[in-house]
Structure formats: C-alpha cells, structure tokens
Structure 1
Amino acid sequence: MHPSSYIEINRSALKNNIDFIKKRIGPDVQFSSVIKGNAYGHGIEEFGPIAQGSGVNHFSVFSADEAFRLFEALPAPATIMVMGYIDNSELEWVIKNEIEFFVFELDRLESAISIAKRIKKPAKIHLELETGMYRSGFDGATLSQAVSMLQAQQENVQLQGVCTHYAGAENLHNHERVMAQYTSFNQQVKELENKHLKPKLKHTACSAATMAYPKTQMDMVRIGIMQYGFWPSPETYGQYIAQNENMQDPLHRLITWKSHIMSLKHVPEGAYVGYGTSYQASQDMIMAVIPVGYAWGYSRSLSNQGQVLIRGHYAGVVGIVNMNVMMVDVTNIAGVRKDDEVVLLGTQGDKSITVASFGERSTQLNYELLTRLPVNIPRNIVD
C-alpha cells in the first residue's frame, strides 16, 4: 500500500544537533532526550533508536504508555524517566522495569512505596518541587509529608533526582519569574539535604533554559525541541546569534513531510474551488489535488494560506483544506504531472517550507504543529 503522505527523519541532522547541544553543556552535565508527544511528532519508535545511536542513553517521556513504547523500541538498555502521567495500576510495571518517574503528589508516592514493598524492588523517583509554575510539584505541607515518607522508606525508594520546570524560559519577559524559581529550587534543595535527602541529580533546564540561563543546567538538562532542529523561540535564537560571530543556524531540521499529486484538475475562470465560496478562480487555472487534509495534521486554518513545494516551486493552497485532500495552484509550474512529489514541510531544491512558516499563517506553535502529526503517517529514517 502507498501512503498518502510520509515523513522522513534525518539521522545525520540529529547527530549534528546532539553534538552541538553537548558542546554547550559540557561533559559533566547529563543529556536527557525528551520524546514526549510522540517525539515531537517524529515518532517514538523511529526516533528513540537513532538517538541512542547518536550517543543518548537517557530519555524523558510524559506518560507510562510512552515509556512502554520506548522500552520496546530501544535496541539496548537506557534510562527512561516519566515526567507526567502514570495510572497507579501502571506503577508495578514501571518499578519492575526500573523506569524512573516524577513524584508530585502524595497518592503516587504512597502507591509507589506500597508496590515497592510488595515486589521487593525500590521505586526510582524524582521529587518534583513547586517553585512558581503552579502546575505540578510538592510544596508546603505536602512537601513536608513527602519528606517524612522518604526518610522512613529509603530502602523502598531511591531518590534519583529533584526537579522543577520553568514557566517560560523562552521569553525574556519571564526573566524575573524564572530567576525566582531558580532561587526557590536551590533553597528547597538545601533544606532537603539538611534533612539527609540528597538526590543523585538536580535538574531544572529545558531547551530554552539550557541556552538562555546556563547556570540552570545543574546535573542534567532535559532537551526537547532543540534536538529536533528547532529553537524554543525567536528570542532564544536571537540571543544565540548575538553571542556568536557565525550567523548560521547550528541546528538542522530532522523532519521532511512529503506527499504526491493525486490528480490534476482544470478550473475555468469564475468557478469556485472546493467547498463554499472562499476562492474564485480569476482566470483559467490548473489545480493539483493533494491527498492530505486536516485529518492528517494539515491545519484547516491554512486554507487559502498555506504553501507546498512542487518541482522546486511554491504552490499556494487554494480553497478550504478538506479532511483528506487539499487543492494547490500549479497553473504556472511547467511540466507538472500526476504523482509528482509534493513537499509539505522541508526542502525541495533550493526552497523550503518551514514549521515557522506554518505558524506565521496559522495560530499554531512549532510544538503544536509537530505533535499533531498523526502517529499513523509512516516515518522513514534517512541519512
């Protein structure tokens, strides 16, 4: 069967990005590859093994089901850390397989201790602290209770790490809030150490904090968007460029999303294209029908806005993006024919369709567009 579209993941681009980031953090800081959101749309099963082949041996996922997918896909053992959702019924599998996990509420800690006692295997936890983001993390009375439990259960719980997450390190206007979080975290860690709870790792930095606030790198950094070749924000990229004489972007995009022309359609002057009356042909036109629509992650907000690449030329999306197809104007592209390659995202010849260009024409963030790419689009590794 021929898929209506497919994604290519570039192995050498990933190696370039990982090498660049590792140079920035130095040899004493551990690199954790964040692969939540189906590896930011790149595919957990495809991305995990090539990341491991590029020297990564620590992975951060959001949920137990992502941990299971990665656990099954990796060719060699690695550290897997769950930062978010685990149903209590999944904790036994997590603990048995030495999956590390964030603890940010008493119920999870109590359940983990109970299971660890029963199966006689310690739970490997990372204690998440509330520092000012107010999403998840222990604070106040709950932190005191958690500390008491950890002190009493050290044979059943291994404190692998203490962590937090910054509320917007990618934007300069959050500077004071980020710095307040950094101070709060360090104060709380000192208090924990005074109570004889010393974690193996302290970690707080995402991609943005790693670049914009080097002192937040601590023992480990959790790198998501940058390993895939994207900057957390224009501000983060601007800061880097301002500090370096070489004005070239050091990151390489891994992802190329391709399809093909399903059919060609002549549209007479004055006719409306597709559903409704959002586009009327101003002249006789040739439209290419592309078998990709919003069901495949191509946003409906890109109707009459988006662009694709065909035969090295830009072709504009015309009319409303449908569930499974869209129309593009190929009137002025010479030699166009059925089955021609269509690049939805990536490079063809000397031209590119960037994720940022999607964002400029819609309300989607880089993160949102990538993670919305359906899991069932085939992903192929290229060098």
Structure 2
Amino acid sequence: MAIRYNTFEVGVDLRAIRHNYRILCEKGSNVYGVIKADAYGHGMIEVARALESEGADTFAVGTVGEAVQLRRSGCEKRIISLLGPLNEADCLALAEDSIIPFVGCFDQLNMLVSVAEKHQLEIEISLKFETGMSRLGFSIDELAELIKTLKAGPQIRPVMASSHLATSDDPAYEGYVDKQAEKFMFILNTLESAGFKVEASLANSAGILKHDNVHFTAQRGGIALYGANPLSGTSWEDLGSRLKPAMQVRTKIAAVRELKKGQSISYGCTYTAQKDMKVAIVCAGYADGYSRGLSSKGAVCINGRRALIVGRVCMQLTAVDVSSIPDVKFGDTAYLLGGEGEGAISPDDLASWWGTITYEVFCLLGLNPKSYVE
C-alpha cells in the first residue's frame, strides 16, 4: 500500500464539501449529510467532521456497521443507518450506539421488536415507505398493519419517516415527483392521525435544488455535497452550477516514449499509431478503480492539457498521447480527475467517457489512499 500511495492518490478538498453543504442549506433546511459508502469515496469520518463544523447535526450512512464506525470515531450527532438492521447483532448495535435505522418491511420490524423485548431495549427508528421507487419500504396498503404492529410494540419508537425520489433529476418526470410527494403526505397524515408525529424526509440532492414541494421537515444531501451537479445535462442544470467538485485523482508518469507510425500499443493491438507520436505511460489502471472501459475513450490532464488514452487500460498502467503537450517527462503528475487549466477533467467528463455516473466514479476511485485539504 505504501508504494501505491506514492503513485496514485485521491485528494479531497473539505473546503469544497463545506461550501456545497452551505449551498444546500440555502435551498433547504435541516439538511442531513449523506456519507454512506465512505462518503461516496471521499472519507466518511473526515467529511462528517467537516460538515459538523458547518452545523450539520444528522448523518446518514449505509449499513449499521458504518454507523458504528462513525459513532466510535467520536461523532456525537444523530446517525441514521439507511439500510437498517439485517440480524440480531445489528439490532443490539443500534441500541448500544444510539443509531436510528431505516425500517421498511415487516420482517425487519418484527426482528427489531423481538430483540427489543428479549433484551428490554427501547429503539428509535425511521419508517421507510415505498412511494414510487419500488425498491424498499412499506406500501400504503400496509399502513394499517404497520400502525397496529407499532402500537403493539411500544419499545420501538418511530421518530422519522422517509421515502426516496426516483426521478427528481429529470424534467420529463416532474409529475412523477409530485405523485410521490402526494403519496408521502397521505402517509404522514395517516401516521399523525394514529398518534405518530414524525420528522419527514423525502428530498435528495436534486429534490433540494429543484423541488421545493418535497422538502417537508428535513432533506438528505448526497451527491451534491461532493460537487457533482445532479441536474447536469438538463434544463435545470444552472440550479447546481455553484457546486464545487471536492475530489481530484492524480498519479505519476512512469515513462515517456516514442510511438512510430504503424506501431501498436498495449494489449490486443487495439490502437495503431497513424503518425509518429509521443506517449506517456501513467501509473493507473483497473486495479486502482480506473475502468478498462476508458480504453481509447477517456483522457487525463497533464500540464493543464488533455492527453487522450490510447489502447487498452491495463491493470496498473495506461498509455496517453502527449504529442502536443510540451515538456512531459518521467515523474510528472497526471490527473485522472481534476487538474488545472482548460484540460481539467470534471466528474461529469470522466463519468461520460466511462459510460456511468459520477457516483460510481467517486466510489471506485475513492477506494485509494486519500489526502485532505482543510
């Protein structure tokens, strides 16, 4: 790992994450910091501390294990586990570390009730509802049974309710967002009539930036925290234009060499030089989370200019065309994400070449060693 640290490094600007959180707070209120999956690859504990300095008092992680890790790091704020408990050990951890789980099915709820009764525990939960994502959550048809179960097991206390928007980043489906909000409002009213008044959360990043009608009493700030515009490529794009990407990914150049006309490079001879070229071999490949799908598609930033990938991305090496970039030499820095000047690589650029979304780019590249700017 030490050798890899010297060649391939993820830099995270915590100032940008704090800036992005302030933007979300301008639009919303009571914005949770969503830091699941190691804060989308940016570093869960470091990001939580940065957001806490901006006044964030609720953090949403993925698994109960992540929640325990965050709590044990010294975080005293409210922590939510979006996946919730999957076994008895998870249930006990919730109680021990004061973690609020999302609970969205009767198997999960009944397990919690059973463990709470067995160990004489009281556990706060967030009820998860299905309003149009068709993934997790109680349905409207299950409301009556849910209320009955909750009243029969008072040791399980709902303090939140949530659902997840499926199309908040797509202008073509704005009406679908409205329908989800209507269903969620019906659920909240039904719960309140039954004596369960809860903090309500429906809006994600795109919901915060665009859909005021889905804000309710809390919102969940996710991808926008990390500077990726969830509305990019749509007519709503300007609403996220002030967001600042927080991640840069850089590596070193292992060699600079000549490639003669007619000469092929890398596995499979998939790229053949049409003229004499100069290529740089950069220390990055699919072992670092830099996708093989970028072969002859993507680019890196060297000396403020873009260098196109030529041939197949290898396990730890990638060849790029530096014919038009002067003074490129062994040991220079190549940016896979970020960089300086006109050649800087944006998260959307990289995701587009990769054929994926910024979420996956961050999560995979973020598995590498990280350094932080405060």
TM range (shorter): over 0.9
Paired residues of 1:271 and 1:280 also in contact (CA < 8 A) = yes
Q: Which residue of 2 aligns with 1:70?
A: 70
> 1:36 is aligned with what amino acid?
K
Deviation at 1:146, TM superposition (A): 1.9
- The question of whether the paired residues in 1 share the 8 Å contact of 2:62 and 2:83 is answered with yes
SS at match of 2:372: strand
> 1:60 corresponds to which letter in structure 2?
A
Judge conservation of contact 2:140–2:187 (CA < 8 Å) in 1. Answer: no
Note the C-alpha offset of 1:235. Answer: 5.4
- Return the alpha-carbon distance in structure 2 between the equivalents of residues 129 and 165 of structure 1: 8
Q: Residue by residue, what CA displacement relative to the aligned partner does 1:286-335 show, whole Å, maximum 9, x if unpaired?
A: 22111111121211121111111112221111100112111111223222
TM-score, length of structure 2 as denominator length: 0.93
Contact 1:171 1:235 in 2 (8 A): no
Q: Using the alignment, how far apart are the partners of 2:302 and 2:37 within structure 1?
A: 29
Report the counterpart of residue 204 of structure 1 in structure 2: 202
One-letter amino acid of the counterpart of residue 208, structure 2 = T
Correspondent of 2:263 among 257, 271, 277? 271
Does the 8 Å contact 2:84/2:101 carry over to 1?
no
Taking a change above 3 Å as real, the CA distance of residues 172 and 44 of structure 1, as seen in their structure-2 partners, is same
Are 1:252 and 2:247 an aligned pair? no
- SS of aligned partner of 1:353: coil
Matches within 5 A, 1:224-243: 224-234=222-232, 238-239=235-236, 241=238
Question: Partner residue of 1:40?
Answer: 40
- Please name the residue that 2:295 is paired with: 303
**Is 2:295 aligned against 1:314?**
no
1:12 aligns with 2:28: no
Structure 1 CA distance, aligned partners of 2:174 and 2:69?
A: 36
C-alpha deviation, 1:354, in angstroms: 0.8
1:259-293, Cα deviation, whole Å (9 max, x unpaired): 01112233222110011121112233222111111
Unaligned runs of 5+ in 2: none
1:162-212 CA deviation, whole Å, 9 max, x = no partner?
11111111112222222111111111211111111221x011110111122
The answer to whether the aligner puts 1:359 opposite 2:357 as a matched pair is: no
Take 2:141 and 2:179, find their aligned partners in 1: how far apart are those partners? 21
Work out whether residues 7 and 380 of structure 1, in 8 Å CA contact, stay in contact via their aligned partners in 2. Answer: yes
Distance 1:80 1:151 in 2: 25
In structure 2, how many angstroms separate the alpha carbons of the residues matched to 1:88 and 1:360? 39
Counterpart AA for 1:58: T
Partner-residue secondary structure (3-state), 2:135: coil
Equivalent residues of 1:303, 1:317 under 8 A apart: yes
Instruction: Tell me which residue corresponds to 2:137.
Output: 137
Q: Distance in 1 between matches of 2:297 and 2:348?
A: 14
Deviates more, 1:91-100 or 1:53-62: 53-62
- What's the secondary structure of 1:372's corresponding residue? helix
Q: Which residue does 2:189 correspond to in 1?
A: 190
TM normalised by structure 1 equals: 0.91
- C-alpha distance in 1 between matches for 2:231 and 2:359: 10
**Runs of 4+ with deviation above 4 angstroms:** none
For the structure 1 residues 56 and 20, does the alpha-carbon distance in structure 2 shift closer, same or farther, using more than 3 Å as the test?
A: same
| 1:22-33 correspondence runs (5 A) | 22-25=25-28, 29-33=29-33
User: Given the alignment, which residue of 213, 216, 235 partners 1:215?
Assistant: 213
CA shift for structure 1 position 226:
0.8
Deviation at 1:66, TM superposition (A): 2.0
Query: For 2:72 and 2:50, how far apart are their aligned partners in 1?
Result: 14
> C-alpha displacement at 1:88, in angstroms?
1.4
> Quick one: which amino acid aligns to residue 158 of structure 1?
R
Structure 1: segments with no counterpart, 5+ residues: none
Is it true that 1:287 corresponds to 2:286 in the alignment?
A: no
Q: What number of residue pairs does the alignment pair up?
A: 370
Structure 2: distance between partners of 1:47 and 1:135: 28
Q: Is the 8 A contact 1:14 1:54 kept in 2?
A: no
Q: Is the 8 A contact 2:249 2:365 kept in 1?
A: no
In 1, distance between residues paired with 2:132 and 2:356?
Answer: 26
Q: Any residues of structure 2 matched to 1:100-139 within 5 Å, and which? A: 100-139=100-139
